[in-house]
A and B are shown apart, each in its own frame.
Chain A
Amino acid sequence: MNLRRTTATALRVLAQLRRDPRTLAMILVVPPVLMLLLRYAFDSDLLLFQHIAPILIAIFPFVLMFVITSVAMLRERTSGTLERLLAMPIAKLDLLVGYGLAFGAVAVVQVAVVVAFVLGPLGVTIVGSVLVLSIFAVLDALLGMALGLCLSALARTEFQAVQLLPAVVFPQLLVCGLFAPREQMAAALQGLADVFPLTYAVDGVTRAAGESAWSGGLIEDLTIVAVCIPLALGLGALTLQRRTR
């Protein structure tokens, strides 16, 4: 690891994002707009909206970051710049952590916008601390980013990269407890939910919103999500082969 190369990579990724204002706007505008839609979809049951809004505060950044980073990494592969970088004195982790820092900064802004919108104009109230909820949401965004970086190795084309969303993210969404309480699912699915990182991300934001003090469960969720991020980045580093066929 080298600080200069990591920072340079982060600044370069941010410069690329700045050149793409439409993507930047979508990152910031799409989550609040979806929240607004949902608020009126649950117009007659605002209590239910109160319950799921914090979960979605975590899920939208997770999904968006997953898609953006898997495509960004794929672009790095197909443009030949990855091959060029790997022939240069840069560690794989410099590259991945650089991506992490850049998208992490974007995630902080994204989460701040959606949290402010949900707790402000949409009038959702939470029992827990806004800060803890926000920290969790940023970690979830970083988790999506790390999984995106790691799994983009499975995609050779942009079509394939986009298919990673239904293939990798949807199963996690379906069993994470958003659509049906996990306790009511078939035993096999509960086991599956236990190994999916998104389960802990969703459980964590639910607790962060609903509990006023730090519980053991919250700390456990936080730890698992926080450990999964470097783990996925490490796996991502393994997928970057300097020598290829």
Chain B
Amino acid sequence: MVNSVEVEGLDVSRGGHPVLHGLSVTVAEGTVTGLLGPSGSGKTTLIRAIVGIQKVAGGSVRVLGLRAGSVALRHSVGYLTQAPSVYRDLTVRENLRYFAAVLGVGAARVDQVLADVWLGDEAGARVDRLSGGQQARVSLATALMGNPRVLVLDEPTVGLDPVLREELWSLFHRLGAAGVTLLISSHVMEEATRCERLLMLRAGRLLIDDTPAALLRRTGQTDMDAAFLHLVRGSETVQ
């Protein structure tokens, strides 16, 4: 299997504090990979390094065979920031039209992504009049806009009701089936079961790189929270 993302020996410090310590991970092409870990474990920093907007102290990050942040990658990597990053004083459609022009995709794509995130009815509404969950979906629509081959999503389902969360996960799997590589961060362990593969960070190190089923089997647990606790306690005993 081909890897879309290859991270090797990545060291990152922010504000003088080391955040990632010699981290090495790979993400296979066309898979839905979950990036899990408690807040402060370095998920967002790893994501920013993969998108190529994080200064790194050492190691290498390659995406689709190119150095992360390369000009050529700006067309093929979609990025969803944790907080909705869209223009709050514009309407949903005005936002999406602008990003469509920046990415050089036709206006028809705007209606497609609106449908993908179930925002067709809110297209004419100003973003700051929408609910938090709707704003998050406007931001997601922007990340989908350029038909990216690699989609890096930082907590896309936070604050959504269970129905919408379910629908977004099925969208992610449809994209994965179509060959898009998805790396999705979450701090909700329960979402891990929806991923094909799991990467779990703890204090800037890779704690788990496995499939959800294998993880449960290996730890002898029935849910992800328990499996995670089991591994954390195990790693502390080893240390």
Are A244 and B53 in contact, with the CB atoms below 8 A? yes
Q: How far is the CA of A19 from the CA of B77 in the complex (A)?
A: 31
Interface bits B75-94 vs A (CB < 8 Å: 1, else 0): 10101010111111110001
- Return chain B residues, CB-CB under 8 Å to A83: 53, 81, 85
- Return chain B residues, CB-CB under 8 Å to A86: 53
With A4-B101, A243-B69 known to touch, is A80 a contact of B85 (CB < 8 Å)?
yes
Are A243 and B77 in contact, with the CB atoms below 8 A? no
- Return chain A residues, CB-CB under 8 Å to B99: 88
Are A243 and B87 in contact, with the CB atoms below 8 A? no
Q: CB of B134 within 8 A of chain A?
A: no
Instruction: Give chain A interface residues in 167-210, CB to chain B under 8 Å.
Output: none
- Return chain A residues, CB-CB under 8 Å to B86: 79, 81
Are A84 and B79 in contact, with the CB atoms below 8 A? yes
Q: How far is the CA of A90 from the CA of B51 in the complex (A)?
A: 15
Q: How far is the CA of A84 from the CA of B51 in the complex (A)?
A: 10
Are A243 and B54 in contact, with the CB atoms below 8 A? yes
- Return chain B residues, CB-CB under 8 Å to A4: 101, 104
Residue of A nearest to B77 (CB): A87
Residue of B nearest to A8 (CB): B101
Q: CB of B187 within 8 A of chain A?
A: no
Which of under 10, 10 to 19, 20 to 34, or 35 or more describes the interface residues of A?
20 to 34
Q: How far is the CA of A242 from the CA of B49 in the complex (A)?
A: 11
Q: CB of B74 within 8 A of chain A?
A: yes
- Return chain A residues, CB-CB under 8 Å to B79: 84, 87
Pick the residue among A12, A90, A244 that contacts B87 (CB under 8 A): A12
Q: CB of B15 within 8 A of chain A?
A: yes
Interface bits B90-117 vs A (CB < 8 Å: 1, else 0): 1000100111011110000000000000
Number of A-B contacts (CB under 8 A): 78
- Return chain A residues, CB-CB under 8 Å to B94: 12, 15
Are A5 and B102 in contact, with the CB atoms below 8 A? yes
- Return chain A residues, CB-CB under 8 Å to B54: 243-245
Q: How far is the CA of A242 from the CA of B14 in the complex (A)?
A: 16
Pick the residue among B55, B71, B98 that contacts A12 (CB under 8 A): B98
Residue of B nearest to A245 (CB): B55
A137 CB → nearest B CB, Å: 28
Q: CB of B202 within 8 A of chain A?
A: no
Pick the residue among A11, A20, A80, A89 that contacts B74 (CB under 8 A): A89
Q: How far is the CA of A7 from the CA of B98 in the complex (A)?
A: 10
Residue of A84, A85, A244 ringed by the most chain B CB atoms within 10 A: A84
With A15-B94, A242-B69, A243-B69 known to touch, is A79 a contact of B53 (CB < 8 Å)?
no
Are B90 and A15 in contact, with the CB atoms below 8 A? yes
Residue of B nearest to A7 (CB): B101
Are A79 and B87 in contact, with the CB atoms below 8 A? yes
Q: CB of B37 within 8 A of chain A?
A: no
Residue of A nearest to B56 (CB): A243
Are A88 and B74 in contact, with the CB atoms below 8 A? yes
Are B83 and A87 in contact, with the CB atoms below 8 A? no
Report, nearest first, the 3 A-B pairs whose CB atoms are least far apart: A80-B85, A8-B101, A89-B74
Interface residues of A (CB under 8 A from B): 4-5, 7-9, 11-12, 15-16, 19-20, 79-81, 83-90, 242-245
Q: A8-B101, A81-B87, A87-B77 are in contact. List 7 more A-B contacts (CB 8 A).
A: A16-B87, A19-B89, A84-B85, A88-B103, A89-B104, A243-B53, A245-B54
